[in-house]
Amino acid sequence: MMWLSNFISDFKFVFLESERYKLIIEGLFVTLEITLFAVLIGIALGTVVASIRSTYDKNIESLKKRKI
């Protein structure tokens, strides 16, 4: 049971007394910020690719007629 009390005291010292929990929270917010921007970039690129593909699919017949 001695290891448990050592673990608890070490945990209190490392995270609470040293205020390292603030670093973990800050890292979490940075991760969420990066994730948000990645999602926005993905949505923008997906929209561009989808609009190009749908335009191409609609005009494929007229493109075939021009090649002849």
Per-domain residue ranges of the chain = 2-67
Q: What is the pLDDT of residue 8?
A: 87
Q: What is the pTM of this model?
A: 0.63
Q: What is the pLDDT of residue 46?
A: 97
Residue 20: DSSP 8-state: T
Q: What is the pLDDT of residue 67?
A: 63
Whether 16 and 23 have beta carbons less than 8 Å apart is answered as: no
Q: What is the pLDDT of residue 4?
A: 86
Per-residue pLDDT of the chain (68 residues; tens, 9 = 90+): 888 888 888 888 887 778 888 888 999 999 999 999 999 999 999 999 999 888 876 777 776 776 65
Q: What is the pLDDT of residue 68?
A: 54
Integer Cα distance of 65 and 11 in angstroms? 73
